[in-house]
Amino acid sequence: MDDLIQFIVDDIDIAMPRTKDLVLNSIHNVLSPDKKDTEVSTSIVFAKLYDFMKYMEDDPYDLLFARNVRLDLGNTSVNKAIRKTFESNPTEFAFSNNGITMLCEHHVHNPGTKELTIVNPRVVNGSQTLHSIRTVQTPPLNARVMLRIIEIPPLSGNDLPEKISKKKDIVNKIAIRSNQQNQIKLWNLVSNDNFQVDLYRFFRGKSFFYERREKEYKTRRRELRNVQVYQGPSLTRMCQLICCYKWLDK
């Protein structure tokens, strides 16, 4: 009866059937916050992407992604870049990718074998990363990705309706917040390039503030005006002006 009740609870969470255990190899260290500082047990490791690829081969219905808020978005420019880094620069993947967030019932690390076993794993963030690399024919064995593991144990005991409600609330918060990061635009990424810094210095020498980073002048307006530095063009506006003037020059 306990097993039957547990299946019903899992079905309410849209999590039936269960997934098989995910075993990650060559896990040397597991980082976890103090239990009193987090509502649910959380760990961070750097896992080999090859282990995920082998797992997905035996997951024909993509149960691993049943909780994810988005399905595979296909061959987008971002996904192409993820795949290219994985294939061409696997040792750069760990610091180039935002990582994966996964829910599970339980996870245990064996320091002797350096294996980390994740029970009933579910990806809630990072689906695009895994879908981007899953069809690579000769995957590198040394590409790693940051994996955040959030442990939500099975419900048991009394007051099941209340526990179900609380569990669903936690799961929904994790799924939404881990996928709710502010979008970064391509032009944000060049704000510290040498060319942009040179423009900043040029305008500063003429008592104007060249806004390389979005809304920076608004944040620093008072202190800048106190030293007679006034608002100049923004990065995007300056780019438009340069393009208009140099439109024949690629």
Give pLDDT, residue 15. Answer: 46
Task: Give the span between the Cα atoms of 139 and 141, in whole angstroms.
Answer: 6
Give pLDDT, residue 12. Answer: 47
Contact 171, 152 (CB under 8 A): yes
Give pLDDT, residue 76. Answer: 86
Residues of the chain scoring pLDDT < 50:
12-15
Give pLDDT, residue 177. Answer: 64
Give pLDDT, residue 14. Answer: 47
Task: Give the span between the Cα atoms of 52 and 123, in whole angstroms.
Answer: 11
Task: Give the span between the Cα atoms of 218 and 212, in whole angstroms.
Answer: 12
Give pLDDT, residue 16. Answer: 57
Give pLDDT, residue 160. Answer: 65
Cβ neighbour number for residue 166 with a 10 Å cutoff: 13
Averaged pLDDT of the chain: 85
Task: Give the span between the Cα atoms of 236 and 47, in whole angstroms.
Answer: 38
Task: Give the span between the Cα atoms of 201 and 31, in whole angstroms.
Answer: 42
Contact 103, 121 (CB under 8 A): yes
